[in-house]
């Protein structure tokens, strides 16, 4: 929260408006025991910082707004490329077993699956656990069989907002998003994975925001 | 909560002060293209809310308490009990197989393991995947065998800061923390799980902070 040192008179004005809204500046001045002119700077400040609203021909009311826009504005400026980290990819022909080993060796929660360097799918720890529980021969079946296939993998671009990435993670109930670059070759879209943005990256962002930079 | 919607001119002033600090109100007025008198209310507000500092005979400078530290102050007020969600627990005598089924049915990433209603350990999706890859008979081995055992499970209290929970998640490289209540019975500490605080909860918090509430 923003620490604004309101004067005792400003606090009194807020209290009076809360009790009697809407209230005109004449009535407020009478209650505070000063002239309207003396009250004008206080009322100007209280409306400008959004605590009071001045309604023409009605009077002053307490503002409906209650968010800290500065926090909101600040968070809405951070881009995915400021928080993304290295993505781990594997070819779709690799066996599920090799994919799981790659997952553990890199200590990540999601593998991005490629074909000729293009993103074709994703497999999460959850997908691997499901298949490891069944009777599948992990050494024979290629990872491409069990992946979530494009275009069903939710992606972000480097220039997208970190906030929008967080929103996508929550909305689509995934742990991680691939950060991609899209190019066209012979009218065909090529999607290259250049990073990832996971719940871990978002959690680190919140820790960063909470630190005194 | 206080809502501060800075006007375009106020934002311009902040930008100019950042570039040229210290800067006098005369120079600021010239750059903005208005009179000093016209700028006075904006400067009064920006100094009052702590974005600018007015140094006598020097000019205006950006306050140490910048918008980043306002974000910092705000984040440091949110408590774990505002963001925690329901924890899924299972008895340590349950088989690993039953634990994995519980994990999937509740669609969570971590199970908290109890004995007589007390927290004794934790098992994550990663732990389950590791054991499912090996030759273990999942239907015979109790989940207590593979769990991370107390006191090695990192916990938080309801009254802890969400920020500190996020920091613990990152420092200890875990996906989720149990929110616990500690009581003493016959000189013995009893730890009850009352919720969880995961990377998902932190990501949702960031989304909430980015929204205009």
What is residue B95's DSSP assignment? B
Smallest Cβ–Cβ distance between B5 and the set A50, A129, A212 belongs to: A50
pLDDT score of A84: 97
Contact A79, A104 (CB under 8 A): no
- The CATH number of domain B8-65 is 1.10.10.10: yes
H helix runs in A21-133, sequence order: 25-32, 36-48, 69-75, 80-83, 96-106, 125-133
pLDDT score of A71: 67
pLDDT score of A64: 52
pLDDT at B2 over 50: no
Q: Which residues contact B189 (CB under 8 A, 6 or more apart)?
A: B182, B183
Smallest Cβ–Cβ distance between A45 and the set B48, B104, B107 belongs to: B48
Q: Are the beta carbons of B212 and A72 separated by less than 8 Å?
A: yes
Q: Which residues pair with B157 in a beta bridge?
A: none
H helix runs in B76-196, sequence order: 80-83, 96-106, 125-133, 162-171
Q: Are the beta carbons of A4 and B48 separated by less than 8 Å?
A: yes
What is residue B155's DSSP assignment? -
Contact A125, A105 (CB under 8 A): no
pLDDT score of B176: 97
Q: Is A19 exposed, middle or buried (0-12, 13-18, 19+ CB in 10 A)?
A: exposed
Smallest Cβ–Cβ distance between A207 and the set B48, B125, B166 belongs to: B166
CATH architecture designation of domain A75-210:
Roll (3.10)
Selection from B97, B93, B105, B80 nearest residue B176 by Cα: B80
CB neighbours of residue A117 within 10 Å: 11
Span(s) in chain A for CATH 3.10.580.10: 75-210
Name the residue with tokens 């959690």: A203
* Residues B110-140 pLDDT 10s: 999 999 999 999 999 999 999 998 878 999 9
ipTM value of the model? 0.72
Q: Which class is B80-210 in CATH?
A: alpha beta
**pLDDT tier, B59 (very low <50, low <70, confident <90, very high otherwise):** confident
Q: Give the separation between CA B197 and CA B153, rounded to whole angstroms.
A: 13
Q: What is the mean pLDDT for each group of 10 consecutive residues in chain A (213 residues)?
A: 64 85 90 89 80 83 56 81 97 97 97 96 97 90 96 97 96 97 89 97 91 57
Span(s) in chain A for CATH 1.10.10.10: 8-62
pLDDT score of B71: 67
Span(s) in chain B for CATH 1.10.10.10: 8-65
Q: Which class is A8-62 in CATH?
A: mainly alpha
Residue A139 CA, chain-centre distance (Å), reads 39
Q: Which residue of B has its CA nearest to A212?
A: B69
* Residues B159-203 pLDDT 10s: 999 999 999 999 999 999 999 999 988 888 899 999 999 999 999
Shortest CA gap B163–chain A (Å): 6
Contact A191, A170 (CB under 8 A): no
């Amino acid at each position: 929260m923003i620490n604004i040192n309101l004067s005792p008179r400003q606090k009194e004005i807020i209290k009076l408006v809360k009790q009697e809204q809407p209230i005109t500046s004449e009535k407020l001045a009478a209650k505070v025991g000063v002239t309207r002119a003396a009250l004008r700077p206080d009322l100007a400040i209280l409306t400008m910082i959004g605590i009071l609203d001045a309604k023409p021909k009605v009077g002053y009311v307490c503002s409906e707004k209650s968010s800290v826009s500065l926090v909101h504005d600040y968070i809405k400026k951070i881009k995915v490329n400021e928080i993304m980290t290295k993505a781990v990819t594997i070819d779709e022909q690799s066996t599920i077993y090799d994919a799981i080993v790659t997952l553990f060796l890199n200590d990540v929660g999601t593998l991005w699956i490629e074909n000729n360097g293009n993103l074709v799918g994703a497999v999460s720890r959850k997908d691997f656990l499901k298949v490891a529980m069944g009777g599948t021969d992990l050494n024979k079946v290629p990872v491409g069989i069990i992946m979530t296939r494009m275009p069903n993998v939710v992606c972000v671009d480097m220039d997208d907002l970190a906030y929008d990435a967080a929103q996508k993670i929550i909305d689509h109930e995934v742990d991680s998003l691939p950060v991609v670059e899209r190019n066209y070759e012979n009218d065909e879209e090529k999607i290259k994975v250049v990073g990832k943005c996971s719940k871990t990256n978002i959690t680190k962002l919140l820790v960063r925001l909470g630190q005194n930079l």
